[in-house]
A and B are shown apart, each in its own frame.
Chain A
Amino acid sequence: MELAWRIYLPANYKMTRVQRTDSSGSTSFGVSLGNPTETIVRVRFRDNNGLVECFSNHGASSSFTRIQPPIYAAAILEKWNQLEIEQLGKDRLVTCEPDEEFTLLSIKIPGELLESMKSRFDNSIYGNLSGEITRVQFMKQAP
């Protein structure tokens, strides 16, 4: 699975990809862009023997993670068409205000699907999962 955007960012923006790891935790990968940039942002998912890997890349920087916990990996592999995938600018050009924080991509498991999938996994571990798998966002930062 691959998602891509062509974007223009004024100076001093930071891109962050947040990936949920369990009910309370998350990891994030950030990169600061000092100069105005026109680039292509790509987010790819790949099945590596049942482990789902995520590679995101824009311009000269990139990040790589394995999707955790396994319930999220299973959702991506088996239920991709049922996930809530919000992509900024999917159908048309979107312009954001200069100081506005914006989310380029958000992938979530809908509540009902999450509940139905929990029965296949250890419900005591996944009891409080939010359903958000990953999010890519941009925010203005001080020069």
Chain B
Amino acid sequence: MEPNAKRGQRRQLFGLQVGLRQLLLAMLCVGVWFAHWTNQDGIARLEPKLANLQSLSPELIVSDPNKNAVVQLPSPWYSIRLWEVYIPTDRVRICLSTDDIAPFGLPDIYESVLLPKGQYAIQLDEQNETGGFRFLVTQNGQSCLNIEKKWVAASGGSTTDSNVWTQTKQFDDNVPIVLCRRRNNVPVPGSPGSSRSPSGPAEGLMLWLQNDH
């Protein structure tokens, strides 16, 4: 047979004439498609597991670097609450109040401090001391707010409205971010030892972030 005739030789495959190049290309296509299909199948199997792991171990994921971001971390102790925050500007205050806490809105009386921009841990620690409580807020372990409150011990319970963000939540900088809102119950007149939820603003504990106006 002539060499030139050899080059043009083709194989019969399912009644089609295919050359070696086409055969290799078809095998390559099948290989790539199979790898893609295997990966998609693996991703589908791992996604529910990943969602579970994310809820077990919350992580701050900042999708929009121009917005504030918050995620709540597991409490290391009964009196401690912990958040990881991302603040994109130098204009955000952290505010702490123990009086005039209404079911909605922000109280007028509070202590606050400007937070630096960046990503760090915010911790709220309620320390039960003789004759009252101390509320200590730290930023990456550094004390930034500290309120001592001589509460009457007979407050008889409270209502807590915590925003539990186990996955990162992002906010525009004009939206206050309420990390914790707790309202102490009030005594029931004429019924010693009984208490009920307050109807109006009450003593309690509120921690939030707001833009510095």
Contact = CB atoms under 8 A, between A and B. Distances in A.
Partners in one complex: yes
B56 A55 contact: no
B164 A38 contact: no
A38 B75 contact: no
Interface in B112-129: none
Given A38-B52, A38-B56, A40-B56, A60 B78 contact: no
A79 interface: no
Contacts of A82: none
A44 interface: yes
Interface string A39-82: 11010101000000001010010111000000000000000000
Interface residues on B, range: under 10
A40 B74 contact: yes
A39 B56 contact: yes
Interface of B is mostly: loop
B77 interface: yes
Contact of A60 (B76, B77, B164): B164
A6 interface: yes
Contacts of B56: 6, 38-40
A55 B77 CA distance: 6
A62 B75 contact: yes
A135 B98 CA distance: 37
A30 to B, nearest CB: 17
A44 B77 contact: yes
Contacts of B75: 57, 62
Interface string A12-45: 0000000000000000000000000011101010
A100 to B, nearest CB: 23
A64 B78 contact: yes
A95 B75 CA distance: 28
Interface of B: 52, 56, 74-78, 164
Given A39-B56, A44-B77, A46-B77, 11 more contacts: A6-B56, A38-B56, A40-B56, A40-B74, A42-B74, A55-B77, A57-B75, A57-B78, A60-B164, A62-B78, A63-B78
For the complex of A and B, 4 pairs with smallest distance between CB atoms: A64-B78, A55-B78, A38-B52, A40-B56
Interface of A: 6, 38-40, 42, 44, 46, 55, 57, 60, 62-64
